[in-house]
Amino acid sequence: MADADTADMLKAWGLEYYIDLFREHGIDISCLGLITEEMIKELIPKIGDRAKFKSNLAEWRNVINITTNSTPFLELTAGIDIDDQSTFSLQQNTESTSLIDLNSDVSTLGTLSTTESSSSSTTRSPSPLLYTLNRNSETFQLQNLHDFLRSTVEGRALLSLYKDSGILDNSGRRKLCNIIVRRELDNDPEKIISSQRLLSISQEIITTFTKEHISTYFIPYISYGPTLKKAAKGKLLDCFNNRRREYKKAGIITSRRSNSGQLSRLSPGLDVNSAVIERKDIEEPLAWLKNSSDPWYMVEDYWSITESYRIQRELSAKSKGSVSDYMKEFPCLKKPSGYTLLLKDFCYIYPQNKECLFENFPIYKAKLLELAKTTSTTLRDTTLKNIIKEYLDLAPDSEETSSLAALLVLPFLFSPVSTKRKKCNTVCWRPSKIEMRDGFILHIHSQAELQEAITRRKEKYVKLGLTLQPMVIVVGPKISEINQYFVTIDDTFYELHSIVSAVDCCFKVTHALNAEYPTECLPIWTFIQKAFYKIKTTYDTEYVTVNSLISDLEIQE
């Protein structure tokens, strides 16, 4: 019966009317690599449809490399520098030795390894067939799967079971995958097994267990066309990811894989495109992240693996797209926990500044409230006076309301900054202090107003030639009865548990996304950056009122 993958593929290729025919003939994903020219003619009599199918099938076969002859059973060249002048020897029972120059054609090596493996399968000796690589006084041994299974108790039990019953059940397949993954990760628990390696192992499996299907164990990431993509899957991949998760929980995996040196500081506008970043080991995780968002433990693993590349090559280059584009590119960021991934990115960029706001803000909270009280006495605008008084009245109620009050009074301690329209560079907007406050922390009365509030702000920014940046929104019938805290990025809303955590999250995701501070409250965020996070960059704007407030609070920069 045609499986879902085959049906999806035919739809993507514009051949959906053949789904029932494929189902009738029992053609599933594992059969596609075996279809011959004659079979295609019988299945698809129309020349145009047949040409379309053959073209797409050939491209798909190239992507997944599913035919037996396309991938050698053993990756003798894996991890070998082809430019190296060293040689390796092929030994069987330590009797005969053949020397092969690594500068010779790689396909020749693959053919040789396949031939030797095939011949050994027909005349198996008691001792395992070992491929020994001598390089820089180091020795690596690669066993073919059958001989490796014979060398372990569990493996011999599986081979015996298969010989007696002629099949592997789900329990047997699970045991087989566990044995293989243990072997692969034995010397390096943090090793990333490539798609090529997983395909190679899968082919060894179906050679040893001839009634098994390669698609049971691994199908790589596949693009069926511009409208449909499928993440990699299979029992081998699941087993590998489960084992990595167990290792992380046990503390065996303690370091993150990164592909270049860590950035000591990334600020808005920083250009690191000239940095040389090795993409090995991250292309597949990156492709997976762009097309999948479950399971979450895999999202977290792949996010960490790709962090250096994403931050240095994608986030720091503004020409590559907007914040909105980046959010759409990685669907996991649309999840309720998506902000935690961006917080990890911030910690990667600024590893020493993780808890700065939580540590420093409480120290100066009372002083901020006192300064706000003093400032209100000098104001002539009674509306502003009443607003500040309302906030100050909140302070004694609880720790949370005092934090909310101290943050809400910040906009009234700075002078508004005129905004220039980006396209014509003319002064067009000098925000009021109320607009500064709403750009920093926007208060709405119910969660139902969230989308409407964002839509209004977007429309306003479009008229001003600006774009919506990450911001904080608090929800409650009155400012004294706030019950929800959100950080919004484009059309995505992340819910936090307190006002300080919301402001902390907003600050960090702004830096992680290489976004900008909302224009109307630039002095406020600059103050938070310099006073609480102790971050300075060459791209900072100096504001007299910011420096004055830092001095008044006696904050050491």
Stretch (H or E) spanning 246: helix 235-250
What's the whole-model pTM score?
0.58
Confidence of residue 276 (pLDDT cuts 50, 70, 90): very low
CA distances from residue 540 to 11, 269, 361, 526 in whole angstroms, order as listed: 52, 11, 21, 8
Average confidence (pLDDT) over 244-249: 81
Residue in 213, 209, 148 with CA at minimum distance from that of residue 181:
148
Q: What's the half-sphere exposure (Cβ side, CA atoms, 13 Å) at 180?
A: 27
Over 50: is that where the pLDDT of 129 sits?
Answer: no
Per-residue pLDDT of 516-550, as tens digits, reads 899 899 999 999 999 999 998 877 888 889 999 99
Report pLDDT for 120.
36
Per-residue pLDDT of 135-177, as tens digits, reads 333 333 346 888 899 999 999 999 998 988 888 888 899 999 9
Report pLDDT for 254.
60
- Mark out the alpha helices in 66-122 (DSSP H runs): 106-122
Average pLDDT, the chain: 76
Report pLDDT for 177.
93
Proportion of the chain above pLDDT 90, given as a percent: 32
User: Which of 553 and 282 is assigned the larger pLDDT?
Assistant: 553
* DSSP codes joined into one string, 415-428: ----EE-TTT--EE
Residue in 83, 202, 65, 90 with CA at minimum distance from that of residue 140:
90
User: Which of 229 and 443 is assigned the larger pLDDT?
Assistant: 443
Per-residue pLDDT of 381-394, as tens digits, reads 899 999 999 999 98
What gap in Å lies between CA 377 and CA 391, rounded to an integer? 14
What gap in Å lies between CA 269 and CA 267, rounded to an integer? 6
Over 90: is that where the pLDDT of 211 sits?
Answer: no
171 three-class SS? helix
